[in-house]
Amino acid sequence: MARAHKYDVIVVGAGGAGLMAARYAAQNPGVSVAVISKLYPTRSHTGAAQGGVGAALGNVSEDHPEWHAFDTVKGGDYLTDQDVADAFAHEVIDAVYELEHMGLPFSRTPEGRIAQRKFGGHTRDHGKSAVERACYAADRTGHMILQTLYQQSIKDQVVFFNEFHVLDVLIEEGTCRGVVAYELATGELHTFHAKSTVIATGGNGRMFKVTSNAHALTGDLTSIVWRRGVPMEDPEFYQFHPTGLYKIGVLLTEGARGEGGILRNADGERFMERYAPSIKDLAPRDMVSRAMFLEIREGRGVGPDKDYIHLDLTHIDAEIIEERLPDITEFARIYLGVDPITEPVPVQPTAHYAMGGIPTTIDTNVITDGENTIVPGLYAAGEVACASLHGANRLGTNSLGDLIVFGRRAGIHAAAYAKGADFEPLPTDAQDRSRAVLDAVRGASGSERASHVRRDLQATMMDHASVFRTDETLSKQVEILKELRDRYRNVSVEDTGRIFNTELMEAVELGFLLDNAEQLVHAAQHRTESRGAHSREDYKDRDDDAWLKHTLVHREDDGSVRIEFKPVTLGRYEPKPRVY
Amino acid sequence: MDTVRITVKIKRFDPEADARPYWAEYPVEARPTDRVLDVLNHIKWEVDGSLSYRKSCAHGICGSDAMLIDGVNRLACKLLVRDVGEIIRVEPIRGLQVIKDLIVDMEPFFDSYKAVLPYFINDDPEPARERLQSPEDREIFDATTKCILCAACTTSCPVFWTNERYIGPAAIVNAHRFIFDSRDQGTAQRFAGALGEANGLWRCRTAYNCTEACPRDIPVTRAIQEVKREMLWRSA
Ligand SMILES: Cc1cc2nc3c(=O)[nH]c(=O)nc-3n(C[C@H](O)[C@H](O)[C@H](O)COP(=O)(O)OP(=O)(O)OC[C@H]3O[C@@H](n4cnc5c(N)ncnc54)[C@H](O)[C@@H]3O)c2cc1C
Ligand code: FES
């Protein structure tokens, strides 16, 4: 295979956001498009999403996009950019219909419409009660979205480079000119020259020990572009989902609580009644995860070590569980040997979703500072990006919506830019940085194993920078990260082969992961307030006077970190205390 | 939790070093609740970094890690140590070319999948809202929407082992998903193509291996029978 490629639009990542971007870019006659993915497209983690995609269709009860926008802003603890939430809540309705038109097999209401159910933080009329807004296909909505979009891409004859691992984004003199990728099957580097590049590479949950995220979610591109001068926006806001299977973190959808599931402590008490009297177990995730942590800390956790909580579905009709929650029922049976129909399931908060990421405008253009200076030719969408839709805490079902709404916008804008632009010349040394990344690991002779450094990273991030944080834990983690980085320099690999050298790639991914941890910890240490998923025990309150602003974490050439801020776009919703 | 001592025998092959595959043995400590994938990770991370296999989600939904475990196609991430014996034998799935250790060339598998036109076909103008479908009509093809393209079924099929051009059960399952969708109009096109050809549907000899192999509990053989019946009915 030739190792130099040229496309008008390159999409990196083949999850929901990437496939949607590719589809829309490819609808422009004369615009050539290719998708690069380190996994085969259908292996992307969008396929793991269970509960649903939120859109105010009103199929089950009255609903309006304005209510959805409000819930998104309030759920995000007012750090959400309100213009983004507005556009999103309106466009997602169309986008869901579009998925249905592509054949997506949604579950159905008795009238034959797309079925909808309740989900955390989604309410009727500005918080009055929970509303059925999550459009679902049993508990495999993400699987169906991923399959449907991939099926469409076969129909549309999209070009794929599968099992190609992107190692560099060629940002030169302020514009993006393409990417460099490592072909797993041959060990060769390929240069992709492009007018527009869309980054859609998903999350970075693997920096934590207990996570719902796939092994592949190592934040590669959030590290790569950071080292190319793009800051990270709001990385301190990392979501812990309340119901991960005890110890292994595999997710049980919030849809389980949407169908009536209840969280109970060791006394059998429905403790969420104390924390969120109006919507109880369906409060936003940050609040529920914190409540669970507090219950455990105060000695009311379940089990011999009093370190988990029960998710109780036993009062729900067995038929409803089998029909609407078949997959998670199976997960509990297989991995914990617990049958949710007859026994409560042991759960604990699990690292789940990055609200922050590569900063973009509402049109998905990547920006480099608080003045919204864009990088021509560079776009980002999906979990990797931060258009500031989710603010300080994402509502369930809003990520799948984000993928289809902003994936679409990215495809449209990337293609429009490509049509009007020329190919900017590539530097002569286009592959140098990528080769350096590989050689750093290949050439090392140290005795350290990547797996040990990764294990220690994951454990310490969990201890010092997860649901609750203090200046003390974060300072400690800053020091630990320095040590881990030193140890990383001593990581070497046994496999010296070229073909499918997965050991080498895991070591490279660990390097990316360390950058992601650094971004998060520094931003978290800086923000001396509690907001959404960022909960500081030494600064318990939200402080709008000082902190109603986005963080931008820059990496300086000497490796140090600089923090800048960016205003939140407000609108019709005045910041108010967030009670449910 | 207490650990148990097990021996993992893995059929290994490095195309850059080995003339032919060989069996390697790894004695390891594992917890009964560990996934076989966790055990492979343990070997890769603590014993021999060069052991190669695909993985991602680690809970049975991405389809990366189908392998032959104790003679049966399984997802390594969906099988626990307590459900296998003290000696576990792990090999690559059969019928696709082995590239390295447990990694096989999946391209022929995906080519067959693509050949059945595995996408929604309906040329009517799109309504403003959703197309309607009753819960009953939706239920008819529910099982076949679960496929994660792991290839466990196809690579357990004796017909596929002897004829790699047979499109295989996974492709037919994905055709079923559309043929029995009340909204789809592409059935004639699919039957006129790869599905109806010599290496299509009619190669199936109902060996049932596929049904047993499916990690998503799709009744694969039944789905294939339904597609056959539909084709006969249409041509009658
Ligand atoms: C278990 C689980 C359940 C969830 N349930 C819901 C839900 O019910 N509703 C909801 O709204 N959200 C849900 N979410 C969140 C949502 O699913 C994810 O945020 C979303 O799917 C991310 O999609 P994406 O397209 O951004 O990335 P992904 O689907 O993760 O895809 C990333 C892509 O990037 C590629 N890639 C990554 N790095 C590289 C690289 N270096 N080079 C080349 N390619 C690369 C990968 O191969 C992959 O194709 C859930 C998440 C999890 C983990
Ligand atoms: S790793 Fe995803 S199915 Fe096993």
Taking CA A239 as the corner, what is the angle to CA A348 and CA A148, rounded to the nearest 5 degrees? Answer: 100
Q: Is B129 on the interface with A (CB under 8 A)?
A: yes
Q: Which two tokens stand for residue A350?
A: 């699990």
What residues have CB less than 8 Å from B41, skipping those under 6 apart? B55
For residue A242, report the phi and psi dihedrals to the nearest 5 degrees. Answer: -60, -40
CATH number of B4-104: 3.10.20.30
Q: Which two tokens stand for residue B105?
A: 């060339």
User: Which of chain A's residues have a Cβ under 8 Å away from the Cβ of B183?
Assistant: 103
pLDDT at position A218 over 70? yes
What residues have CB less than 8 Å from B6, skipping those under 6 apart? B27, B28, B29, B30, B39, B81, B84, B85, B86, B87, B88
Residues 37-76 of A with CB under 8 A from B: 39-40, 42-45, 47-48, 57
The confidence score (pLDDT) of residue B2 equals: 85
Q: Which two tokens stand for residue A573?
A: 């919703």
Residue with the two structure tokens 């990542």? A13
Assigned fold of A432-538: Methane Monooxygenase Hydroxylase; Chain G, domain 1 (1.20.58)
B163-218 residue pLDDT tens: 999 999 999 999 999 999 999 999 999 999 999 999 999 999 999 999 999 999 99
The confidence score (pLDDT) of residue A214 equals: 98
Asked whether A379 and A180 are in contact (CB, 8 A), the reply is no
A222-231 residue pLDDT tens: 999 999 999 9
- Domain ranges for chain A, please list them: 241-349, 432-538
Q: Is A161 on the interface with B (CB under 8 A)?
A: no
Contact A40 B106 (CB under 8 A): yes
3-state secondary structure at position A66: helix
Active site members of A: 285
Of A57, A113, A494, the CB nearest to B48: A494
Taking the C-alpha atoms of residue A140 and residue B58, their distance in angstroms, rounded to an integer, is 16
Q: Which residues line ligand 2 (CB under 6 A)?
A: B 55-58, 60-65, 75, 77
Taking the C-alpha atoms of residue A149 and residue A164, their distance in angstroms, rounded to an integer, is 20
Taking CA A113 as the corner, what is the angle to CA A111 and CA A116, rounded to the nearest 5 degrees? Answer: 110
- Across all residues in chain A, what is the average pLDDT? 97
The confidence score (pLDDT) of residue A239 equals: 97
Contact A48 B59 (CB under 8 A): yes
CA nearest A152 in B: which residue?
B119
Contact A327 B99 (CB under 8 A): no
Residues 71-110 of B with CB under 8 A from A: 78, 80, 99-100, 103, 106, 110
Mean pLDDT on A72-97: 98
Q: Which CATH class is domain A241-349?
A: alpha beta
Question: In three state form, how does the secondary structure of A319-341 look?
Answer: HHHHHHCHHHHHHHHHHHCCCCC
What residues have CB less than 8 Å from A545, skipping those under 6 apart? none
How many percent of chain B have pLDDT more than 70? 100
Taking the C-alpha atoms of residue A65 and residue A572, their distance in angstroms, rounded to an integer, is 14
Contact B56 A39 (CB under 8 A): yes
The confidence score (pLDDT) of residue A1 equals: 60
Q: Which two tokens stand for residue A154?
A: 């076969």
pLDDT at position A445 over 90? no
A273-301 residue pLDDT tens: 999 998 999 999 999 999 999 999 999 99
Ligand 1 within 6 A of A211 CB?
no
Taking the C-alpha atoms of residue B72 and residue B94, their distance in angstroms, rounded to an integer, is 11
Asked whether A332 and A340 are in contact (CB, 8 A), the reply is yes
Asked whether A22 and A33 are in contact (CB, 8 A), the reply is yes
**Integer Rg of chain B from CA:** 20
pTM attached to this predicted model: 0.97
Q: Which of A46, A466, A67, A54 is nearest to A241 (CA)?
A: A466
Task: Give the number of the ligand closest to the Cα of residue B67.
Answer: 2
A168-184 residue pLDDT tens: 999 999 999 999 999 99
Ligand 1 within 6 A of A139 CB?
no
Asked whether A272 and A291 are in contact (CB, 8 A), the reply is yes
User: Which of chain B's residues have a Cβ under 8 Å away from the Cβ of A456?
Assistant: none
Contact B133 A48 (CB under 8 A): no
Instruction: Tell me the C-alpha to C-alpha distance, in Å, between residue A565 and each of A232, A236, A546, A554, A562.
Output: 11, 13, 11, 11, 10
Q: Count CB atoms within 10 A of the CB of residue A455.
A: 13
A329-339 residue pLDDT tens: 999 999 999 99
Mean pLDDT on A395-421: 98
The CATH superfamily of B107-235 is Alpha-helical ferredoxin (1.10.1060.10)
Taking CA B68 as the corner, what is the angle to CA B64 and CA B70, rounded to the nearest 5 degrees? Answer: 140
Ligand 1 within 6 A of A398 CB?
yes
Asked whether A392 and A533 are in contact (CB, 8 A), the reply is yes
A519-536 residue pLDDT tens: 999 999 999 999 999 999
Inter-helix orientation angle A16-26/A141-155, to 10°: 30
Mean pLDDT on A62-83: 98
**Integer Rg of chain A from CA:** 22
Taking the C-alpha atoms of residue B84 and residue B86, their distance in angstroms, rounded to an integer, is 7
pLDDT at position A2 over 80? no
**CA-based diameter of chain A, in Å?**
67
CA atoms in the 13 A half-sphere facing the CB of A308: 19
- The band of B235, judged by pLDDT with boundaries at 50, 70 and 90, is confident
How many percent of chain A have pLDDT more than 90? 98
What residues have CB less than 8 Å from A495, skipping those under 6 apart? A501, A502, A503, A504, B49, B50, B52
- Domain ranges for chain B, please list them: 4-104, 107-235
Rounded distance from Cα A61 to ligand 1 centre (Å): 30
Contact A47 B184 (CB under 8 A): no
How many percent of chain A have pLDDT more than 70? 100
Question: What region does A409 belong to: left with phi over 0, alpha with psi -120 to 50, or beta?
Answer: alpha
Taking the C-alpha atoms of residue A410 and residue B43, their distance in angstroms, rounded to an integer, is 41
pLDDT at position B1 over 70? no
**Residue from B39, B55, B214 whose mutation best tests the ligand 2 pocket (most atoms within 8 A of CB):** B55
Ligand 1 within 6 A of A160 CB?
no
Of A250, A493, A499, the CB nearest to B15: A499
Ligand 1 within 6 A of A365 CB?
no
Which stretches within B43-183 are classed as H helix?
107-115, 135-140, 158-162, 168-179
Taking the C-alpha atoms of residue A476 and residue B99, their distance in angstroms, rounded to an integer, is 45
Q: Is B42 on the interface with A (CB under 8 A)?
A: no
DSSP A155: H
Which stretches within B15-106 are classed as H helix?
36-42
